[in-house]
Amino acid sequence: MKTTLKILKYEFHNVIRNRWMLAYALFFLVISEALFQFGGDASKVMLSLMNVTLLIIPLVSLVFGTMYAYNSREFIELLLSQPVDRKWLFVGMHAGLALPLALAFVIGVTMPFVIHGVGEAGNTPTVVALIGAGIFLTLIFVALALLIAVVNEDKGRGFGVSILLWLFFAVIYDGLILLATLTFREYPMEQPVIVMTLFNPIDLARIALMLQFDISALMGYTGAVFEEFFGSVTGMVVSFGSLVVWTAFPFLLALRRFIQKDF
C-alpha cells in the first residue's frame, strides 16, 4: 500500500503538469462559463453540461489514458525492476492517472458554479451528482484505457480500440437499444431496456443525472418507467452498485493482466 501512495504521488505530479491536463480543465471552465453567459439559469447550464460531460469524459479518459500507458511503458519496466509488488504499482498508476483527470474536471466545472452562486438556487445536490457522475466515468474509462494498453502490445491498435470503445458506449449502444425496442415493439420492453442500461456506464450516469434534473416526465412512458425503477431505493442501489461494479470490473481485469504480463 505504501508503494501505491509513493507511485501515486509522483505520477500525480507528472500528469498534473501535462499541458493537456490544463487544456482539459480550461475546456470545462470555458464551456461552463459560456453556458452561464448564454444559457441563463443554473439548471439549464447543468443540463447542457451533462451532455458535454457524458461525451467528453469517456473520450478523454480513454484516449489520454491509453496514450499515457503506452508512452510510460519503458518507465514501467524500470519501476518493475525495482523491489516493488506489481499489484501496488498498478494501483498507484491507475490512481495517478485518474485523480488528476477527475480533479481537472471538478475544478473546471465547479468554478463557474461557485462564481455564479449556484448554492443559492438550491441546485447543490444536482451539481454534486454531476461531479459524482464525472468522477465515476473518469475512474471507469481510465481503467478501460489501462486494460486496452495492457492487452494490446501495438500502440496504434490500442488507440483504435479505445476510439471504437468510446463510439460503442457513446453512440452505437443506444442505437442497438433503439433497434431492439423497434424490432420487439409488440412486446413489453421496459424491463429489458432497464437491464440493458446497466451494461453501459454512460447510460447509467445519464439516467442518474436526468432523475436529478427531474426531466424524466419529458421522456413520456419510458421516462416514467425509468423514474419508477431508478427513483426507488432499490433502483438507486442497483444503479449505484452497477457504477461501482463498472469501476471495479475493468480495473481488476486490467490488474490481473498487468500482473501476468511480460514487459
Partner 1 sequence: MIEIRNIDKRFGSLHVLKGVGFAIERGSITAVVGPNSSGKTTLIKCVLGLVRHDSGAVSIDGVCMNGTWQYRNDIGYMPQIARFPENLTVDELIEMVKDLRNVKNAGEEELIELFRLGSERKRPVRTLSGGTRQKVSAVLALMFNPAILILDEPTAGLDPLASSLMKDRILNERQKGKTIVLTSHNMHEVEELSDKVVFLLDGKVLYDGKPHDLISTTGEPTLERGIARLMENNGK
Q: Cα dihedral angle (246, 198, 135, 148), rounded to 10 degrees?
A: 40
- 3-class state of residue 72 by DSSP: coil
Nearer to partner 1, 26 or 259 (CB): 259
Please tell me the distance from the alpha carbon of residue 71 to that of residue 14, in angstroms, as a whole number. Answer: 13
Interatomic CA distance for residues 253 and 7, integer angstroms: 20
Which C-beta is closer to partner 1: that of 6 or that of 44? 6
**Smallest distance, partner 1 to C-beta of residue 14, A:** 4
Nearer to partner 1, 51 or 71 (CB): 71
Cα separation, 109 vs 56, in Å, equals 13
Joined grid coordinates for residue 134? 464525472
At closest approach, how far in Å is the CB of 122 from partner 1? 41
7 vs 49 by CB, closer to partner 1: 7
Inter-residue contact 107 to 139 (CB < 8 Å): no
> Would you tell me which residues interact with partner 1 (CB under 8 A)?
3, 6-7, 9-11, 13-15, 17-18, 71-75, 77-86, 260, 262-263
CA 93-129-110 angle, to 5 degrees, is 75
| Residue 201 C-beta: closest distance to partner 1, Å | 29
The label of the residue with cell 436526468 reads 210
Residue number, 94 or 206, with CB nearest to partner 1: 94
Cβ of residue 77: shortest distance to partner 1, in angstroms?
A: 6
CB of 259 to partner 1, least distance (A): 10
The least CB distance from residue 238 to partner 1, in Å, is 39
Q: How far is the CB of 154 from partner 1 (least distance, A)?
A: 13
Contact 100, 12 (CB under 8 A): yes
Comparing CB distances to partner 1, the nearer of 17 and 157 is 17
CA distance 95 to 16: 12
The C-alpha angle 116, 120, 124, rounded to 5 degrees, equals 85
- Closer residue to partner 1 in complex, CB, 72/123: 72
Q: Do 258 and 150 touch, CB atoms closer than 8 A?
A: yes
**Cβ-based nearer residue to partner 1, 188 or 260:** 260
- Quickly list DSSP for 146-185: HHHHHH-S-HHHHHHHHHHHHHIIIIIHHHHHHHHHHHTT
Query: In this structure, what C-alpha cell is assigned to residue 225?
Result: 418507467
Shortest separation between residue 184's beta carbon and partner 1, angstroms: 42
